[in-house]
Amino acid sequence: MTRHEDDGSLVHQHVCNENEVYVVSEDIQSLLMGWADEREFTLPLRKFFTALRHDMKKKLQSYFPVVHFISEVEIKSQIDNLLEKETEVTAVSLDRAYKKNGCLLIEATRIVDGSSMMPIGNLGSRTQTSLEEQFKLLSKTVTRPIQLIDDVIFSGNSNIDLLKRFNSVGIEVNSMVVGISVEEGVRRICDEFPQMKIRSVRHYMSVIDEVCERDFYAGVPYSGRLIGTFDGGFEPRPLVPEQGASYFFPFGNPHEWASIPEKHERDWSVFCLEQSIQLWEKIEEASGRKVLCSDLTRIPRLCTPMSTKRFVNFLKESLHHSYVTA
């Protein structure tokens, strides 16, 4: 474990000083496990996911000098090791992929307009319960300091927004435990909240980008940026059924959202669609039945909500969409 020499409040198990690193945090297998249990499907064996990730890493290595894939097993187990075990501290998670059993949850995310793909407001709720309502409910439950669990600290902007919201309802946050942290974001948080303790599994001094693996696979729970609308309210709300814009054509913007070089955007999008098709075909094979669009908990943008069409067929049609093949 490495501790910042100049600040004892920052503790990182592994510190990377390499420049120009592209980081992907693995999460699709654990997210799909919950979906499969709920919808009565069967997932392929772990070796399939290992091979899938090997191919994706190889593709990203053709664009970037150094690519790191961080295991979801490592992130989950080490987050648990970093959590304070004192009974007077309550754990609140900001990310379902690494949520510890029994801890509380705040459902916050960025929301985009389904047509323009531009952000709507700042942060919104992943559910139909607004952030304002979530924080009010949490303030009635929590009577002691909390430690936040999150997947990533990147720019720090969203984290600071949420920390201010906790303060506004009288909830004290004394520490954050994250899977992956980037120096710029950590320093920004510490400048705003000097007493904050931050613990991370992996810390990077700088990165090209850090992306959750789920954002590269259409149909996976929580894949892509959530699509929503203001609908006359004070903060954006997600559409119902839930829709997402994954980080490749024709669903989302691979260059702006995932730093894929513009000259490789179409190549990358074809690859991600092919990977998604491979994933869902393998789930169908393991389950002995087809996966319909209506079986998904977050459907991709452009997919008809509650459609009884086979999802793989929708993906194959998308592969020939003009935005991908032109």
Please tell me the distance from the alpha carbon of residue 63 to that of residue 271, in angstroms, as a whole number.
Answer: 13
Chunked in runs of 10, what are the mean pLDDT values of the chain (326 residues)? 53 89 96 96 98 98 97 91 76 82 88 94 90 94 90 95 95 94 97 95 96 98 95 83 96 97 96 97 98 97 93 95 54
CA of 127: how far to CAs of 111, 119, 161, 236, 240, in Å? 11, 17, 18, 10, 9
Pairing of strands 299-300, 243-245: parallel
CA within 13 Å, CB half, 96: 18
% of the chain surpassing 70 pLDDT: 94
pLDDT of res. 28: 96
CA within 13 Å, CB half, 6: 2
- Tracing tokens 């992996």 back to the chain, one arrives at 202
Report the predicted TM-score, pTM, of the whole model to 2 decimal places: 0.92
For 46, which DSSP code?
H
Please tell me the distance from the alpha carbon of residue 238 to that of residue 15, in angstroms, as a whole number.
Answer: 36
> What type of residue sits at position 144?
R
pLDDT of res. 83: 87
Please tell me the distance from the alpha carbon of residue 28 to that of residue 42, in angstroms, as a whole number.
Answer: 14
What is the tens place of the pLDDT at every residue in 18-46?
988 999 999 999 999 999 999 999 999 99
Element (H, E) at 315: helix 311-319
What is the tens place of the pLDDT at every residue in 198-237?
999 999 999 999 999 999 999 999 999 999 998 666 789 9
